[in-house]
Amino acid sequence: MADEANNRGAFAIQEYYCRTMDAPIYARLCTAIERGLTRDSAIGRRILDWPGEPTKDALPLRFIGGLHALVRAGADWELARVFAGAITDEADIAAVVNGVCVAHHAALDPWLDGPPQTNEPGRSAALMLGLMAVARHCSRRLEVLEIGSSGGLNLLIDRYRFVLGGVAVGPADSAVTIAPDWRGPPPEPQAVEIVSTRGCDVNPLDVTDPQVAARLAAYVWAETPERGARLARAIEMVRAKPVDLTHADAADWLEARLVEPQTDGVTRVLMHSVVWQYLPEPVAERIRRAMAAAGARATAERPLAWVAMEPNRAFAHMLLSVRSWPGSGEREVIAHSHAHAAWIEPGVPVPTGPGVPAGAVIEL
C-alpha cells in the first residue's frame, strides 16, 4: 500500500546525500519536493502514491533526472533558474516544480518508469582500487565480468588513466584521466593487467546514440559540469572502440560465465557498482549462490574475486568491498567514497546518516 510519508521521506534521504556530497542546489530541490509537492498534477500523485520502496527504487533520482532533461532541452526557463541556483527559496522552488509537473506531464512521466542508468565513469576509480587489491592478493592478470553495465562505460576501466592518492594506474595516453580527491594514506602501488572486460545489462544502452547520450547527461548533476565533460569523452572512447556488452539477465549471464574455462594465472572478477538495489531478490540470491559455488571450485591457479561499490545508507556513502577465493570469501570493506567517487577514503566510515526504512537497506 502506498505511503505518502515514506515517499516524501525518500526525498529527505536524497537531500542528505546531496548535502553531504556538496550539491546544495539539488539538496534544496529535494527539500522543496519533499515538503511542497502537491497532488495537483498526475506526476505529483504518482510520486506521492508510489507503490514500491521509493528510496530503493531511486524515485528522487528518476524524477530529478526528468526535471534536468527539461532544463537541458530549454523547455522551462523558471526550472532552469532553479537548477542554476538562482531560485533558492523553498516555497518558490516548490511552486516551480508543481507548475512544471502540470505543464510538462508528457515529458516527465516516462522518467518515472525505470531506474536511472547513470553509468558514471568516475566510479571506475573506486572499482580500480578494488581490482588493485585483488591483483595484490590473487594475481595481477584479471578477467573482469560486470553486471548492470548500463552503457558499458565502466567496461572501459582498462582504458582509463587513474591517479589514486598520487599512484598512477592505466595507460598514460588515455583520453580520460580520473583523479578523485584522495582522503587518507595513498594505496600501495600495484600493477594490474586486465586481459578482458565483458558486461551485461537487462536494458543495455547504446551510448553512441545521441538520444541515449542526452539521457545519461540528464542524470549528471547540474552542479558537476566536469562529470558531463568526462561522460562525453568516455562516450567517444566507446564510439572509437566498442565494449563487449550483452543484453541479459544478470544471474543467467553470470552463471554461464562462471562455468567457462578459465586460464591459469588469471583471476576471474565479478564487478558492479550501484546495481544491487535494482536486482530482484531471486536474481541477487542466484548470484550469491553462483559465486559461492564458483568460489568452492577456485584454486590458486584459477582464483575468483568479487569487487562491489554499493551504497550503505546508514553511512550515506558508497562502500567498496572485496571478496576472494580460494579461502573464506569473506567480504572486506576496504574504502568508502562519494556516490560518484569524487573522493575516496580508505577504511570504513562512521554512520552519520538519517535512519531509512528497512526495505531501503541494501545487503550484498
What pLDDT was estimated at residue 8?
97
Q: Identify the band that residue 349 occupies on the pLDDT scale cut at 50, 70 and 90.
A: confident
Hey, how many other C-beta atoms are within 10 angstroms of the C-beta on 362? 18
Q: Identify the band that residue 351 occupies on the pLDDT scale cut at 50, 70 and 90.
A: low
Calculate the alpha carbon distances from 254 to 196, 198, 200, 360 in Å: 15, 10, 9, 25
Helix or strand run (H / E) with residue 177 = strand 177-178
Summarised one tens digit per residue, pLDDT across range 300-327 is: 999 999 999 998 766 668 999 999 999 8
What pLDDT was estimated at residue 56?
85
Strand partners, 321: 308, 333
Q: Cell 599512484 sits at which residue?
A: 167
Mean pLDDT of the chain: 93
What pLDDT was estimated at residue 201?
96
Summarised one tens digit per residue, pLDDT across range 109-124 is: 999 998 887 789 999 9
- Asked if the model's pLDDT at residue 357 lies above 70, the reply is no
Summarised one tens digit per residue, pLDDT across range 264-297 is: 999 999 999 999 988 999 999 999 999 999 999 9
Percentage above 70 pLDDT, the chain: 94
Q: Identify the band that residue 355 occupies on the pLDDT scale cut at 50, 70 and 90.
A: low
Summarised one tens digit per residue, pLDDT across range 198-246 is: 999 999 999 999 999 999 999 998 998 999 999 999 999 999 999 999 9
Sequence-distant (6+) residues with CB within 8 A of 254 are 145, 147, 200, 270, 287, 290, 291
Q: Cell 526525498 sits at which residue?
A: 11
- As a whole number of angstroms, the distance between CA 142 and CA 13 comes to 37
Q: Which three cell numbers stand for residue 25?
A: 542546489
Q: Which three cell numbers stand for residue 143?
A: 578477467
User: What is the amino acid identity at position 84?
Assistant: A
Report, as an integer, the average pLDDT of 135-163: 97
- As a whole number of angstroms, the distance between CA 336 and CA 343 comes to 9
Q: What is the pTM of this model?
A: 0.89
